[in-house]
Amino acid sequence: MKDRILRIFHDLAPQPDALVFVNSIEPHLDQSFFYVFDTASGLFEGSAAIALPDGSLHVSTSQLEEESALQAAKHDPHVDVHLVKKMDDRKSWFAKMLPAGGTIGLNFHELTHEDYLSLAGGLPKATWSDVGAAVRKARRVKDAREVERIREAARIGSVVGEEIPSMLKRGITESELASEIEYRMMRLGASGRSFATIVGFGAHSAEPHYSPASTKLEPGMSIVCDFGAFYHRYASDITRSFRFGPTDPELKRVHETVEAAQQASFAAIRAGVPGKEVHLAAQRVIDASPWKGRFTHGVGHSIGLAVHDGYGMGDSTEDPLETGMAITVEPGIYLPGKGGVRIEDDVLVTANGFEALTTTRRSYLEVPG
């Protein structure tokens, strides 16, 4: 995509002769490959993309994705697709396409060391530099096509979020609920989940990155569900917390506090504000509550081609929000051994505030057990 390639080059001084994005084997794919080459379908293992300062792009593909690559190139006059049938042939493709003594920018952040050594071994006179920061900066602000996809990913997540209370039945396991959430997202048009769905019951709900297992839902358990959809490679990320069966006055107040913390963060969001202000707005609310110290992570992160797309908001994030960034806002309070509450929504940053992308109702749902 010419405009995206130009955005990356624009941020580099001096400009390298070329940028190279190299995919290894799943899951070691460079998501930035899909930033410069906009194709919704295909794994593209072993593929590479060479972007030039005029915005043109050369993509190598195996036969596995040839059709998908050619379809994508049809819609983009700046893309040339090269069939490189065997991994072994990629080295000679690089040698043919890149200037022998040139300066080449690489995205170290998503390049495997093995691929780097292979690339460097094939072009011993080239000079290599890390352009990861410029790539991340360009990816931070979403263009209209990206926003459209994130909006749809968020819509899918929101619809399924509304349906969760109806799925909460005595005896359902965390894994069963997680798979039902993922199934419903795909039924609504998602290509898959944007990360491994988190469903935690009871004390597990106090573990922010818990992996669902065989625990069965019983009355008196708290529930945290954190999930997201991929739509045309773009992610959403949403969390809702519930209570099954008899209420727990403490967790009810915890939920009210997390809701208030999230509202405080929302009020801080607008272009130009350092990320830490969004985090600290939530932290101040929680620090003023009986659960000071139980908010144990940053308040949010950017979403895009990856669910954690390169920008995070913690208590020391000086980098400001920019119009067009898509971010999560997800304060939480975790009481080890008892349960936790997290509420997470996705928003698009605007000059004066934000636009909400996820719409699932947030109030604490106490589902009869």
Residue ranges binding Mn ion (CB under 5 A): 237, 328
| Residue number, 94 or 227, with CB nearest to ligand GLY | 227
State in angstroms the smallest separation of the CB of 202 from ligand GLY. 19
Burial classification of residue 132, based on how many CB atoms lie within 10 Å of its CB (0-12 exposed, 13-18 middle, 19 or more buried)? middle
Q: How far apart are CA 343 and CA 240, in angstroms?
A: 5
| Residue number, 227 or 364, with CB nearest to ligand GLY | 227
Q: What are phi and psi of 104, to 5 degrees?
A: -125, 130
Chain residues that interact with ligand GLY, rule: CB under 6 A: 195, 226, 237
| Residue number, 110 or 237, with CB nearest to ligand GLY | 237
State in angstroms the smallest separation of the CB of 170 from Mn ion. 29
Tokens linked to 316:
């020391």
What is the three-class DSSP state of 129? strand
Report in angstroms the alpha-carbon separations of 15 from 21, 109, 131, 167: 16, 19, 10, 54
Q: Which residues, 6+ apart, have CB-to-CB distance to 27 below 8 Å? A: none
> Which of ligand GLY, Mn ion, none sits in contact with 182, Cβ below 5 to 8 A by type?
none
State in angstroms the smallest separation of the CB of 235 from Mn ion. 9
> Which of Mn ion, ligand GLY, none sits in contact with 108, Cβ below 5 to 8 A by type?
none
DSSP 8-state assignment for residue 107 = -
| Residue number, 1 or 299, with CB nearest to ligand GLY | 299
State in angstroms the smallest separation of the CB of 204 from Mn ion. 17
| Residue number, 90 or 193, with CB nearest to Mn ion | 193
State in angstroms the smallest separation of the CB of 169 from Mn ion. 26
Shortest Cβ contact with Mn ion: which residue? 237
Q: How far apart are CA 141 and CA 147, in angstroms?
A: 9
Report in angstroms the alpha-carbon separations of 72 from 65, 78, 79, 219, 230: 11, 11, 8, 51, 19
DSSP string, 187-232: HTT-SEESSPPEEEEGGGGG-TTPPP-SPBP-TTEEEEEEE-EEET
| Residue number, 226 or 345, with CB nearest to ligand GLY | 226
What is the three-class DSSP state of 356? strand
**How many CA atoms lie less than 13 Å away from 85 in the CB half-sphere?**
0
| Residue number, 195 or 266, with CB nearest to ligand GLY | 195
The DSSP H or E segment spanning 164 is helix 144-167
> Which of Mn ion, ligand GLY, none sits in contact with 215, Cβ below 5 to 8 A by type?
none
State in angstroms the smallest separation of the CB of 301 from ligand GLY. 6
| Residue number, 255 or 301, with CB nearest to Mn ion | 301
> Which of ligand GLY, Mn ion, none sits in contact with 222, Cβ below 5 to 8 A by type?
none
Residue 43, number of CB atoms within 10 A of its CB: 14
Say if residue 53 is preceded by a cis peptide, omega within 30 of 0: no
State in angstroms the smallest separation of the CB of 308 from Mn ion. 7
State in angstroms the smallest separation of the CB of 353 from ligand GLY. 22
DSSP string, 250-297: HHHHHHHHHHHHHHHHHHH-STT-BHHHHHHHHHHHHHTSTTTT---S
